[in-house]
Structure 1
Amino acid sequence: MALFDESVVGRWSEERWFDITAESIAAYADAVGGPSPAYAVVPAMGLVFAVAETAAPAELRGRVVHGQQDLFFHRPLPVGESVAVSAAVVGLHGKRSGTVATIGVRTRTAGGELLNEQYVTEFYRGVPTDLAVGAPAPALPTEPPAGEPVRSAAHPLPPDLPRRYADASGDHNPIHLDDEAARAVGLPGVIVHGLASLAIASRTALPPGADVSRLSCRFTRPIAPGDTLTTRVWAHERGHRFECHDRAGAMVLGAGLVELPRRSREDGRRSISNHDHLP
């Protein structure tokens, strides 16, 4: 029997509706220490899990790790309105070390205007296949950033961050909330949500007040609550590159990419050139 159901690839779900409220946005910002465009994942959280589970049997879900996240922004989320979210497994690709499932997400206004697109990759560790069905996620940078970072910031991660992020985002995966569940899948204990780390990092990677057209990263290593997340940012032709490390210096987020609309890129270059403490 096949481990993965190839027939679900490209099969988009029915739309689910989500209310974008000021209270929900504020709760997310409170959990991650400030506003972040990564809030865009919240309306799709439950649907992503439901769609991902159609591709593989339940016994394989314990092997899943979040590989990377890619968000493309077209319009701001309309506060006080409902949005329609649909999702699909858009690709299944195997290799020797495991299999990657790529989930695509579209969020639209009630009138059908596209607000954002997302690509979520799940990696099934130790489940090798020769699958090559559908489309992979968009490419992320493969080379490390060049030169010296233009800024950096260290953020201590509160011990209760996983619980607060779970409540604010809707992601109650037990590896983020229960030590026993985390150890059962080979982790040393509860780990911080990768998307929480991305949201925190985005506050350093984005110039103050700038719009964003793309936010993405690869999740390279888990980080524990109580550790410190240090984000370093480099100038990039379309915006910024970034990486995050834990207190011991291990990379937690890699291939971080922030792309800005043209006007924001021009404003950002002026801001960088006038920044007194930068090398």
Structure 2
Amino acid sequence: MSPFDESVVGRWSGERWFDVTAEGVAAYAEAVGGPSPVYAVVPAMDLVFAVAETAAPAELRTRVVHGQQDLFFHRPLPVGDKVAVRAALAGLHGKRSGTAATIRVQTRDADGELLNEQYVTEFYRGVPTDLDLGTPAPTLPADPPAGEPARTAAHPLPADLARRYADASGDHNPIHLDEGAARAAGLPGVIVHGLASLAIASLTVLPAGSGVSRLSCRFTRPIAPGDMLRTRVWTHEGGYRFECLDRAGATVLGAGLVEV
């Protein structure tokens, strides 16, 4: 019997309103080192957790890691105004190593115009199922980029990055803040938020002032505060492919894709 509540698949939450303030946008930019379109995740942060918790009992939540993030942009967030967010568990898909739960998010302005859509994929490690319900995460490239990267950059990750990102984003998952909680979840210690790594990488991936219609990646390996995030970018079909490595050369963000 599945430990997940299959009945919630496809069920939209009610709308929640969020104030997009200049102070909040600036605090996020300060935490990650510059303005990033990944700030679009912040209005829905609490709602994503609330929807995820409807699908799984609390004891399973300690096994969750962030597997993939897909952001589709239609219009910029209106700084100084409110936005409405809603979310639904889009799908549950199991395999031998665990189960993926994909959460779909929509953010709209006060007039109901769609601003962005997101797909947040959580992976429940060590919770195998044969579930195949709803919609999986959007497809990402299966093959690694070919040739030499067009540009690279290295960003040292400050020791207090996880705390600063938690405060700026609203994501206070204890695996990012508490050594004991991280080890209890099977991790070697506190890890950097995957979305913090993506936001930092976006500073290299996206040329200053460029537009973006999609920004997606797979989170392949944790990275710790104090490590180095090395971003490599390739041009690809009018957009970009990218990946990020840690100091030892292990891939921490893979299958990165940007459409402009």
For normalisation by structure 2, the TM-score amounts to 0.99
CA contact (8 A) 2:2 2:129 kept: no
Please tell me whether residue 141 in structure 1 is matched to residue 141 in structure 2. Answer: yes
Please tell me whether residue 202 in structure 1 is matched to residue 202 in structure 2. Answer: yes
Distance in 2, matches of 1:20 and 1:39, equals 10
Distance in 2, matches of 1:37 and 1:183, equals 31
Deviation at 1:211, TM superposition (A): 0.7
Distance in 1, matches of 2:238 and 2:133, equals 31
Deviation at 1:188, TM superposition (A): 1.1
CA contact (8 A) 2:72 2:213 kept: yes
Match of residue 266 from structure 1: none
Match of residue 244 from structure 1: 244
Match of residue 167 from structure 2: 167
Distance in 2, matches of 1:168 and 1:114, equals 24
Please tell me whether residue 255 in structure 1 is matched to residue 246 in structure 2. Answer: no
One-letter code of the match for 2:160? D
One-letter code of the match for 2:73? F
Where in structure 2 are the equivalents of 1:94-133 lying within 5 Å? 94-133=94-133
RMSD: 0.6
Distance in 2, matches of 1:146 and 1:213, equals 23
Please tell me whether residue 52 in structure 1 is matched to residue 42 in structure 2. Answer: no
Aligned residues: 260
- The SS at the match of 2:189 is coil
One-letter code of the match for 1:9? V
One-letter code of the match for 2:127? V
Distance in 2, matches of 1:183 and 1:251, equals 21
Where in structure 2 are the equivalents of 1:1-12 lying within 5 Å? 2-12=2-12
Deviation at 1:178, TM superposition (A): 0.6
Distance in 1, matches of 2:99 and 2:198, equals 23
> What do the CA deviations read for 1:23-66 (whole angstroms, capped 9, x no partner)?
00000000000000000000000000000011111110011110
Distance in 1, matches of 2:168 and 2:14, equals 24
> What do the CA deviations read for 1:108-145 (whole angstroms, capped 9, x no partner)?
01110000000000011111111111010110111000
Distance in 2, matches of 1:12 and 1:141, equals 29
For normalisation by structure 1, the TM-score amounts to 0.92
Deviation at 1:95, TM superposition (A): 0.7
Show structure 2 runs of 5+ residues with no match: none
- The SS at the match of 2:55 is coil
Deviation at 1:238, TM superposition (A): 3.3
Distance in 1, matches of 2:76 and 2:64, equals 31
One-letter code of the match for 1:255? A
Please tell me whether residue 14 in structure 1 is matched to residue 14 in structure 2. Answer: yes
Distance in 2, matches of 1:183 and 1:237, equals 41
Calculate percent identity across the aligned residue pairs. Answer: 82
- The SS at the match of 1:54 is helix
Distance in 1, matches of 2:34 and 2:217, equals 19
- The SS at the match of 1:118 is strand
Match of residue 68 from structure 1: 68
Task: Provide runs of 4+ in structure 1 moved above 2 Å.
Answer: none
Show structure 1 runs of 5+ residues with no match: 261-279
Match of residue 43 from structure 1: 43
Please tell me whether residue 153 in structure 1 is matched to residue 153 in structure 2. Answer: yes
Distance in 1, matches of 2:22 and 2:107, equals 18
Match of residue 264 from structure 1: none
Deviation at 1:208, TM superposition (A): 1.5
- The SS at the match of 1:3 is coil
> What do the CA deviations read for 1:77-133 (whole angstroms, capped 9, x no partner)?
001000000000000011111110000000001110000000000011111111111
Distance in 2, matches of 1:238 and 1:111, equals 32
Distance in 1, matches of 2:230 and 2:172, equals 25
